[in-house]
Chains A and B, each alone.
Chain A
């Protein structure tokens, strides 16, 4: 039986970290809603410790860093959500419980994840259906039409389709990588339609998301993840370059045709032209980061409320305002650690499918962090996606927990082989 002492030590540190945040919030403004952060810290710690013990008893060789990192990020998210919008804190705590359950279920039910390779077309079909649903039955939030109203809560299918995308591409690319790679040794080779087919297909799916759901961020994530996995499978830069050109063409077309996209780009180019209107949010985000300075205003002592929708897309700016450059870079470093563990798992895996899945999931996560943080800091146009594990959003939280569970599954396989 393998020891998981390191995992539990780190979980304890993450617990103390989250608890400190909760206690500070409570001391500054005693009240029930502020107790919630303490509750979240306790719930997370108890649940993750239980999982850790379960895994130890089972003897699975899961990576010991991923769960503590996730706990750390989710704790940060809970503390800031409760500080920013207590009403959303309650809902997010409920989603957190669902997320941890999904996390556990993933490690139990999808333990034999290799079987998924056989169902890749079923997965693809499910994904496309899930994407089409909001187009017909969806509601619009924040300019993007990508939510399903399920009464009690809103569901964003595109968050889950990300996972399906990686699963499908993993299966497809492993099966076809020889074909896609063909001619790779020749210097000048133009593959035929069979090779270009997947690229075109993905491009169309991304454009579909972009045009019908008006969701620039998700489209970008899908396509970038696809290119990353395609590169891992084929090592052909030609595909990547072609892909970038194609996406750019699609992007320019969307810029011309879709008002929502046009506005986002215009804000990015010069937010000061519409400082009182469309550019207000981005400028406030920059002001927040600026106000944070090196060490920040202190938890609960800044003014992130000046940023509209701070609890979802712009939560990173709030973190920067109150914890400063140290806090912002700290969060990014924790994400870098998570991405590092993900790629480590990919590199340690024994078969192509596991490797490409792990790399795909990790790339998905890393790209998402890059795109949203670049968006709120005006490095790229703002695209309106969540910061994994931190932003408010149930679908995103649960989907990311499933993603983390998949990484654990792959790492378990790997390490068992190593025994």
Chain B
């Protein structure tokens, strides 16, 4: 009988030990079980709602997002700028989930990633609700609101950057949404939740001539001295590239100021496909900078897609070339900043409880041209505003440099573009404006850019 007891004991021990082993396998089971997503673990949101998310501030300390305690525990997010900065800040709520910085920097705001580890451990032991870190942006809340106001009612986007540092001063997209009522905006026409400024994919049109011009000045300076005859159209391998006007005999400066497609089509063909693609890359087209929000990287066709006519139309910003408004602003930045593009950045600082602070410094990013080339292009862009297509952007007493674009697209009238910077002698602000299907850049986008530059330089 004693042996039977022993055997029984072994059986029961085995069972209990088996459970110990099995316990450690549960996380693996949950990770791999089919249908496991049928029920979200309520712990994740519960833990989040116990932590007071950090606030988001603009460069001057104006609140862009903050947590307000609610009756009965938990917090609710408040967005003082409302729809004006909704695409950048994003939203966070238990019902709608999260987007924007609220999503991509959630771990910072919740104090999970960054922060003083000792402080959070102490909080855990004493059971105090966790406190997240604050995020300070490079945005100027006043300018942001002003820009969003100007854009109101016109589909499009505006990006304002300090060319010397890469700091984003404002970035607006219309249509926008109320970050506290996100569910009302889902599946609406015109995609109000899409951030057109950072994720919009637009044909750049003539503003891309800045890129092509930089390539000519850099690689084929001799061609810049030649005169080209513009008969209103350019024939490439049997395809006809139409110009907006008959410009007659134009030199490089005139071609740029009057935005002559024939001349720039020639320039593109002269540069060659490979060279042209590399050139676009040096301006950041199809390159991803590290950025706290999702960006559209732009599109430049591959070498085998750039046959003669495609290359000529790409050189004037048509064809398959696509850029985001942010990238367009960075092209202006390159000229404004002596040929160097500073890495665009949106977050200037984290600061948290327990004295935690982390500052982000401006970083150099790309060098698409020499200061000399940038100097020549700057003069060209000044001429565009002074006497060319961009006269509507001129400001009294301030030299504005810029380039217009009217980008043909399959959705109707041309997109109106303007990129520029001011004051041209010592640029402090670079801007890109795109207005969807509004026609001429000089007539529609340039006046808007003027107001933005005026406001930004106040």
Contacts and interface: CB of A to CB of B under 8 A. Distances in A.
Interface residues of B, number: 38
A15 interface: no
Contacts of B22: 377, 379
Nearest to A342: B9
Given A291-B43, A377-B23, A300 B127 contact: yes
A83 to B, nearest CB: 12
B30 A29 contact: no
B118 interface: no
Interface of B is mostly: helix
Interface stretch (A117-125, A207-215, A271-279, A394-402): A271-279
Contact of B16 (A275, A320, A356, A366): A366
Given A290-B27, A366-B12, A27 B126 contact: yes
Given A270-B35, A286-B26, A347-B5, A306 B43 contact: yes
B410 interface: no
Contacts of A363: 8, 12
A359 B5 contact: yes
A325 B26 CA distance: 10
A306 B42 contact: yes
B4 interface: yes
Contacts of B24: 325
B387 to A, nearest CB: 68
A332 interface: yes
Contacts of A44: none
Interface string A280-316: 1001101111110100001011110010000000000
B238 interface: no
Interface in B1-60: 1-9, 12-13, 15-17, 19-20, 22-24, 26-27, 29-30, 33-36, 38-39, 41-43, 46-47
Contacts of A362: 9, 12
B4 A343 contact: no
A47 interface: no
Interface stretch (A133-141, A243-251, A367-375): A367-375
Contacts of B4: 231-233, 235
A28 interface: yes
A329 interface: yes
A79 B127 CA distance: 17
Contact of A336 (B6, B7, B13, B42): B13
B26 A290 contact: yes
Interface string A222-254: 000000100111010000000000000000000
B23 A374 contact: no
Nearest to B11: A228
Contacts of B33: 272
Interface in B359-373: none
Contact of B29 (A284, A286, A355, A374): A286
B124 interface: yes
B16 A335 contact: yes
Given A301-B124, A303-B46, A339 B9 contact: yes
Contact of A377 (B2, B26, B46): B26
Contact of B8 (A231, A273, A336): A231
B185 to A, nearest CB: 27
Contacts of B27: 290, 293
B19 A379 contact: yes
Contacts of B15: 366, 370
A293 B23 CA distance: 10
A358 to B, nearest CB: 8
A228, A287, A367: which has the most chain B beta carbons within 10 Å? Answer: A287
Across the A-B interface, the 8 shortest Cβ-Cβ residue pairs = A272-B35, A275-B39, A28-B127, A366-B12, A275-B38, A343-B9, A232-B4, A272-B38
6 contacts: A231-B7, A298-B124, A332-B20, A333-B20, A343-B8, A355-B2
